[in-house]
């Protein structure tokens, strides 16, 4: 590692302007040691450490000796994945000129099925309704003739989900080796490439989807010899999503529309006069599903809203369900019968058409099984709830999630005899036991721990503004909001825009946006408010281009956002980012901690909020030349005992309390 990271080392000779950083070298040595010994490593690397090269160099060297290949590198965001794939890894491959095969792994649904495309083209008149969709199918067919890898990312347009669903590779709709397109199948070509790879680049969602199906005897990834989780602070949340289930009301209607549309002109797999019995059963299944969700809605409405003693209450579109079999289930049998009818209807069809029917039959059975599992609450250790979704027409989702993923991850991942590294700018809550929370939440018994501070000079680059005289947001919410709005305007004036304002409440963000609309316009500050039509990436692009803009954001802008230079010189955080324990999963986690004799607020909420605050604060200083101010309006960081935990986790900046500078 010294040969790579020294002042006149290998990286310095390969990169103009390379600056050796002690923290980066320390991280590389720790990762190298973990890969060699086969142990777990938790490495917090502050902004500017250069953590990607801190793990890529030892990963490359480990992969060269073929001891633990393939090595999986998993990220949470697409932006980091693209940085690794398009910038960091190619640069390192030039410096280490030995043959290493690095492969980006995509989910199966990203690839086109040439066989399904051919069937869709033949059946288009009965499958596709609009001229626009016909045009999209034509464009896909032209693209399929010269695509490099057959994945959606290789397209120069985004097809509608319903059109892509007709042609995408699908495990339930695959003929495998018996398909005449098998040898040139893009998905199987990708699988063959993956099988011989040294390094696999994946995202967390795919990694934990693989972990989930491995519990059922299947797999999406080959067996791997080591895992590096970058953006490791997101591992628990993604694992919960992938190990749980979210069954939408729309999924049933989507299946039914694929079989036979309910519009004036009949479309779908069952269009025509040949499938009378299957269509009759489809009609029956539709009726049962509609009745089922109507009964669910009536059950939910019959419960007292806000009755927390019963445990069944609605909050922000979420309604926890403690009781099994809250309504009668005729859906599972109806869908099972539909599946049988589809199989019978296709018995005399050619194999290529029959498999389409079989796929729809499998999907119908799967939906029925998931309904039964949810109603009977078959998954131990899960919390079950209903979720209202949709802006125009409200739809119900049947949701479940494991309350604690630690036992599952311990059994399926961390008990494996392979090295596993988690790294992020925020893994530790600070102090001697800073990594305690992440170890407990992920089921890690033993791990080496390394906390590397940012090499940036925060004291001279950043000013931290805290307040005691602002009203308490918990006991005086209205007064806090009024004072906060005044302070936001004051500090936006001070930085001349060029600011992120981060919220924990979507409603407060919207109210602030309305107040700031004319205020910013008068001063020439472009204003961007999350949720008003622009994607996150487009908002960021326009924010950077504007040079003096103001951006109001909630959850997704607290992390994974990188704006360097003068465009961002002020980060205003309205409230400490506590997760409200009224949502079903948060409430169930609290209960589980209380049952073990712990305290939900101190053992769960505070550590989570500390890590998220560190993420938010980390948006400001992204390079050694960045300068600016961090404004935290919530007075509880100074007035409450637990505030010390937040202060301890923040970088050492010039400190101002109620705008008076404090001694260093």
Q: What is the pLDDT of residues 90-135, one digit of tens each?
A: 999 998 888 899 999 999 999 999 999 998 998 888 888 788 989 9
pLDDT number for residue 267? 83
pLDDT digits (tens, 9 = 90+) for 452-502: 999 999 999 999 999 999 999 999 999 999 999 999 999 999 999 999 999
Instruction: Say whether pLDDT at 525 is over 70.
Output: yes
- Vertex 339: Cα angle to 335 and 340 (nearest 5): 120
Distance between CA 74 and CA 54 in Å, rounded? 15
Non-local CB neighbours of 436 within 8 Å, separated by 6+ positions:
429
CA distances from 311 to 142, 244, 304, 399, 611 (A): 55, 20, 10, 16, 29
Global confidence as pTM: 0.91
In which element (H, E) is residue 129 found? none
Three-class SS state of 630:
strand
For the chain, list the domains and their CATH numbers: 25-101+197-243+401-455 (3.40.50.300), 245-378 (no CATH), 458-661 (3.40.50.300)
pLDDT number for residue 52? 95
Q: For residue 195, what are its two tokens?
A: 């099988």
List, in sequence order, the alpha helices (H) in 145-275.
161-167, 186-195, 204-214, 235-243, 249-259
Compute and round to an integer the Cα radius of gyration of the chain.
27
Q: Which percentage of the chain shows pLDDT scores above 70?
A: 97
pLDDT number for residue 392? 60
Strand order in the sheet with 314-315: 245-248, 395-402, 382-389, 318-320, 314-315
Environment class of 189 (CB within 10 Å of its CB; exposed 0-12, middle 13-18, buried 19+) = middle
Distance between CA 405 and CA 260 in Å, rounded? 40
**What mean pLDDT is predicted for residues 264-273?**
80
* 229 or 19, greater pLDDT: 229
Q: Which residue has the tokens 């269009």?
A: 271
- Under the banding of pLDDT at 50, 70 and 90, the label for residue 22 is very high
Regarding beta strands 382-389 and 318-320, do their DSSP bridges make them parallel or antiparallel, or are they unpaired? antiparallel
**DSSP 8-state symbol, 632:** E
pLDDT number for residue 385? 96
3-state secondary structure string across 64-106: HCCCCCCEEEEECCHHHHHHHHHHHHHHHHHHCCCCCCEEECC
Instruction: Say whether pLDDT at 24 is over 70.
Output: yes
3-state secondary structure string across 288-308: HHHHHHHHHHHHHHHCCCCCC
Instruction: Say whether pLDDT at 450 is over 80.
Output: yes
* Closest CA relative to residue 137, chosen from 160, 103, 109: 160
**What mean pLDDT is predicted for residues 294-302?**
91
**What mean pLDDT is predicted for residues 447-453?**
95
pLDDT number for residue 81? 92
Distance between CA 250 and CA 245 in Å, rounded? 14
């Amino acid at each position: 590692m010294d040969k790579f990271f020294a002042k006149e080392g290998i990286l310095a000779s390969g990169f103009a302007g390379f600056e050796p950083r002690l923290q980066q070298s320390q991280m590389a040595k720790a990762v190298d040691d973990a890969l060699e010994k086969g142990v777990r490593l938790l490495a917090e690397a502050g902004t500017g450490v250069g953590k990607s090269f801190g793990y890529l160099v030892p990963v490359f060297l480990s992969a060269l000796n073929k001891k633990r290949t393939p090595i999986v590198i998993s990220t949470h965001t697409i932006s980091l994945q693209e940085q690794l794939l398009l910038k960091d890894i190619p640069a390192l491959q030039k410096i280490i000129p030995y043959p290493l095969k690095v492969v980006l792994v995509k989910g199966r649904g990203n690839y086109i099925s040439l066989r399904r495309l051919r069937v869709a083209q033949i059946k288009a008149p009965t499958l596709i309704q609009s001229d626009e969709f016909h045009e999209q199918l034509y464009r896909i067919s032209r693209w399929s003739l010269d695509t490099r890898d057959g994945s959606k990312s290789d397209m120069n347009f985004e097809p509608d989900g319903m059109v892509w669903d007709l042609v995408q590779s699908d495990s339930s709709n695959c003929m495998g080796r018996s398909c005449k397109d098998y040898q040139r199948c893009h998905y199987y070509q990708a699988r063959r490439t993956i099988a011989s790879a040294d390094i696999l680049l994946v995202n967390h969602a795919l990694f934990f989807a693989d972990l989930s199906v491995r519990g059922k005897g299947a797999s999406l990834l080959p067996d791997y010899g080591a895992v590096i989780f970058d953006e490791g602070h997101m591992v628990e949340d993604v694992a919960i999503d992938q190990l749980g289930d979210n069954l939408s009301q729309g999924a049933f209607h989507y299946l039914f529309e694929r079989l036979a549309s309910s519009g004036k002109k009949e479309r779908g797999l069952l269009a025509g006069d040949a499938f009378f019995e299957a269509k009759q059963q489809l009609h029956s299944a539709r009726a049962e599903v509609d009745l089922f969700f109507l009964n669910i809605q009536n059950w939910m409405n019959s419960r007292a809203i806000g009755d927390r003693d019963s445990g069944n209450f609605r909050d922000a579109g979420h309604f926890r369900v403690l009781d099994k079999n809250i309504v009668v289930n005729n859906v599972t049998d109806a869908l099972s019968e539909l599946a049988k009818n589809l199989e019978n209807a296709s018995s005399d069809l050619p194999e290529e058409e029959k498999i389409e029917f079989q796929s729809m039959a499998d999907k119908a059975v799967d939906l029925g099984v998931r309904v039964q599992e949810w109603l009977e609450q078959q998954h131990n250790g899960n919390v079950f709830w209903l979720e209202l979704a949709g802006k125009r027409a409200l739809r119900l989702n049947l949701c479940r999630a494991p309350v604690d993923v630690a036992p599952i991850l311990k059994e399926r991942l961390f008990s494996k005899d392979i090295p596993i590294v988690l790294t992020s700018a925020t893994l530790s809550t600070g102090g001697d036991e800073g990594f305690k929370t992440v170890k407990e939440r992920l089921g890690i018994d033993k791990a080496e721990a390394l906390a590397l501070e940012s090499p940036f000079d925060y004291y001279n680059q950043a000013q931290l503004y805290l307040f005691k005289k602002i009203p308490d947001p918990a006991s005086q919410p209205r007064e806090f909001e009024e004072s906060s709005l005044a302070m936001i305007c004051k500090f936006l004036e001070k930085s001349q825009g060029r600011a992120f304002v981060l919220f924990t409440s979507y409603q407060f963000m919207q109210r602030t946006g309305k107040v700031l609309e004319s205020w910013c316009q008068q001063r020439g500050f472009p204003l961007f408010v999350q949720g008003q039509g622009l994607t996150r990436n487009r908002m960021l692009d326009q924010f950077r281009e504007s040079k003096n803009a103001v951006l109001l954001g909630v959850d997704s802008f607290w992390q994974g956002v990188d704006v360097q230079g003068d465009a961002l010189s002020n980060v205003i955080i309205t409230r400490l980012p506590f997760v409200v324990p009224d949502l079903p999963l948060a409430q169930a986690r609290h209960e589980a901690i209380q049952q073990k004799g712990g305290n939900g607020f101190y053992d769960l909420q505070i550590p989570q909020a500390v890590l998220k605050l560190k993420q938010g604060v980390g948006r400001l200083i992204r390079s050694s030349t960045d300068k600016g101010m961090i404004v935290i309006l919530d007075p509880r960081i100074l007035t409450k005992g637990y505030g010390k935990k937040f202060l301890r986790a923040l970088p050492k900046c010039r400190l101002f309390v109620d705008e008076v500078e404090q001694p260093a």
